[in-house]
Homo-oligomer: A and B are copies of this chain.
Amino acid sequence: MKQMTKAEEQVMQILWDLKESNVRSIVDKFDTPKPAYTTVATVLKVLEKKGFVTKVPQGKTHLFLPQISKEEYSGHQMGSLLKDYFNGSFSKMASFFAKENNLSVTELEEMIEMTKKEINKKK
C-alpha cells in the first residue's frame, strides 16, 4: 500500500476526526500558523490520487471523505513496524514496550486486564 507522507498524514488525521470535510474546515483545524488554503487543497489532491480520499461536489465546493479508515491504515502501519522491527512478533513488541517503560509484570498484568475488557467490548 502507498504510504502517506507527514504532511498528508496530518491532513488525514484531521479528516478522520471530522469524518468528512471541505478544505476550509480542515485549514481551520490546524494550529497557527495555519497553512494556506491552497496548500491543504494540494495535499488533498495528492491524497486523492493516492486513493486515500474521495471528494463529492457539495454546493459550490467539495466534500472530502476518507477512503481508508484510520483503523485500516494504522493496521498496515503496525504491520510494517512489527515486520521490520520485531520479527513480526507482537509479544516481542509488547515486552519491548514493557521494558522501555519500566513496567513490572504486575503492571503488565493490569494493562492486560484492560486489554481483555477492550476485546470483549469490541466483540
Which residues from chain A sit less than 8 Å from chain B, CB to CB? 3, 6, 9, 13, 70-71, 73-75, 77-78, 81, 84-86, 90-100, 103, 105, 108-109, 111-112, 114-116, 118-120, 122
- Dominant secondary structure of chain A at its interface with chain B: helix
Whether the Cβ atoms of A94 and B96 lie closer than 8 Å is no
- Nearest Cβ distance between residue A20 and chain B, in whole angstroms? 20
A92 — which chain B residues lie within 8 A by C-beta? 118
A3 — which chain B residues lie within 8 A by C-beta? 6
- Nearest Cβ distance between residue A30 and chain B, in whole angstroms? 15
- Nearest Cβ distance between residue A9 and chain B, in whole angstroms? 7
A81 — which chain B residues lie within 8 A by C-beta? 74, 77-78, 81
Number of copies: 2
- Nearest Cβ distance between residue A117 and chain B, in whole angstroms? 8
A113 to B6, CA, bound (A): 36
- Nearest Cβ distance between residue A67 and chain B, in whole angstroms? 17
- Nearest Cβ distance between residue A85 and chain B, in whole angstroms? 4
A56 to B19, CA, bound (A): 52
A3 to B5, CA, bound (A): 11
B78, B91, B114: which contacts A114 (Cβ < 8 A)?
A: B91
A9 — which chain B residues lie within 8 A by C-beta? 84
